[in-house]
Structure formats: structure tokens, C-alpha cells
Amino acid sequence: MKGVVLAGGLGTRIYPLTYATNKHLLPIYDKPMIYYPIQTLVNAGIKEILVVVSGPHSGHFIPTLKNGKEFGVDHLEYAYQEKADGGIADALKLAEDFSDNQPITVILGDNTTDADISEPVKNFKSGAVVFLKKVPDPHRFGIPKFDPKDNSRIMEIIEKPKNPPSDFAVTGVYIYDKNVFDYIRKCKPSDRGQLEITDVNNFYVKEKKLSWTELKGYWLDAGTHDSLFLANLHWANKKGTVFLKKMIKELVY
């Protein structure tokens, strides 16, 4: 199994922070944001990783990640997404040669999690797996509509619905077989001009080849000012000094 970290985009939702550097290089407590998804892959036994970058700060990744050895990565590659606002699926298509017709685990570069995904990775056979998590703001995400007779089956994934059919969100963690690239080629740009990963996942739904598992543990995508702050707060409280944890408890909790 190979891994892909998608770290493109312009980070417009958190301007002016991303005037200085790429969103995925902003700090989450004591590390750049992108360290967290890379470590998630490595902890799952994935040692060959492609990082897809884009935008004016793409050159900042190489001196930050170097060759990946300090993470335990055996082989680290980079790919450049020319259309920075082209969407997740547009970025993922750049991984086709890297995947070499093998399954890939994909994680968005702004996902900070302590979840252990090693079992789903190890047991993956074919099709696709999406990792779901209950969230308080499901209108921000792709949301699964479950079969009312069998909630293990997803009937459809709806992107940012006004009336979410559930409070489970599709996190930015996926496992795909080699057919994902054929499905990406079938995608049409959405109303916002992007190739949507939700459309890719719905192709798997139509083929009855999409399964899901709940992402256990902490997870947050740090793509807004609020969630960036909350991610910093969580990891500071988890990994900080006794003094810092005491201050967080007194000031926040």
C-alpha cells in the first residue's frame, strides 16, 4: 500500500495566514500541520508517500519535509498540481503513475488525527473505503445518506448539504483501488469549477463497491480559522507541559 497526502490549494479561507506560506505548513502546536497526516500513514505501515502540492509556496515543502527519513518514510515524492483550486480529485489524479496500479491510502494535508487506520489498510481488498466521523457541523462536509434498512450501506454522499441526512461526515481519509483514476476521468467540474472527490466516491457507490468505517479517536480538519485554533488547542492540551495543560484548563475549560 502506498500513501498520498494532498496538500494543494490556496488556503483562501484562512487568509491572511496563508499569505506567508502554504496552509499545510502552518503550525499545529509544535509541528507543521502536514506532519500529522504523514505520521498517520507511517503509523499504518505505509512507507512510500507522494505529497501533492500547489500554489505560490510549493517550494516550502522540500526544506520542511526533506526526503522523509525523519518520519520513517522509505520513499518520498512530490507532485505539482498546476490548478491550485482544481479540487481534491484533480490533485489525486496526479498520483496515477506513483500508484503503479496498486491500492492507495489518501489523506488530506489539513487532517490532524490520532486514529489508527492500520487495520483497514491491512485488510483492504478492492473498491473504496471512506472513513466517517460524527461532527457538530455536517453542512461543511460530504455527508453519507445511509440505506434506512441497512446503515452499513451508503446510498449516496451529498456534498455540503443544507439539510444533512446524518451527522456523520466523510473525513479526508480514503482507501482506493486502481479504478479510482478511471472514475476521476469520468468526473465533470462542479459548479465551483472543481473535480469533486464526492463524485468519485459516488461512482463507487453506484458500483456497490464503497464501504465505510468510523474513524476512531480525535480528528479535525484545520481548514478554517476556528478549526485551526481548535486543533492547536487539542494538541497543546494533549502533548504540552503540565503548566500548559493547567493553563488551558483554567482559561478554556
Q: Is residue 188 part of a domain?
A: yes
pLDDT score for 244: 86
Q: Is residue 72 part of a domain?
A: yes
Q: Is residue 157 part of a domain?
A: no
115-131: per-residue pLDDT in tens?
A: 999 999 999 999 999 99
Place of cell 494538541: 235
Write down the mean pLDDT value for the chain.
Answer: 93
- Cα angle 91-83-141, degrees, rounded to a multiple of 5: 55
CA gap 56, 21 in Å, rounded: 8
Q: Is residue 138 part of a domain?
A: no
Q: Answer yes or no: pTM beyond 0.85.
A: yes
Domain harbouring 107, CATH code: 3.90.550.10
CA gap 11, 60 in Å, rounded: 15
Q: What is the mean pLDDT of each run of 10 residues along the chain (253 residues)?
A: 94 92 95 97 97 95 95 96 90 97 96 95 96 90 90 91 91 96 94 90 96 94 92 91 84 66
Q: Is residue 147 part of a domain?
A: no
What is the domain count for the chain? 1
CA gap 60, 8 in Å, rounded: 12
pLDDT score for 253: 55
Domain holding 88, by residue range, is 2-130+171-251
Query: Do residues 42 and 73 lie in contact, with contact meaning Cβ atoms separated by under 8 Å?
Result: yes
Query: Do residues 190 and 199 lie in contact, with contact meaning Cβ atoms separated by under 8 Å?
Result: yes
Q: Is residue 247 part of a domain?
A: yes
**Residue 153: CB partners within 8 Å, gap ≥ 6?**
146, 147
CA distances 217 to 18, 115, 151, 192, 210, Å, are: 28, 5, 21, 32, 22
Q: Is residue 151 part of a domain?
A: no
**Residue 230: CB partners within 8 Å, gap ≥ 6?**
220
Q: Is residue 146 part of a domain?
A: no
**Residue 177: CB partners within 8 Å, gap ≥ 6?**
103, 126, 127, 128
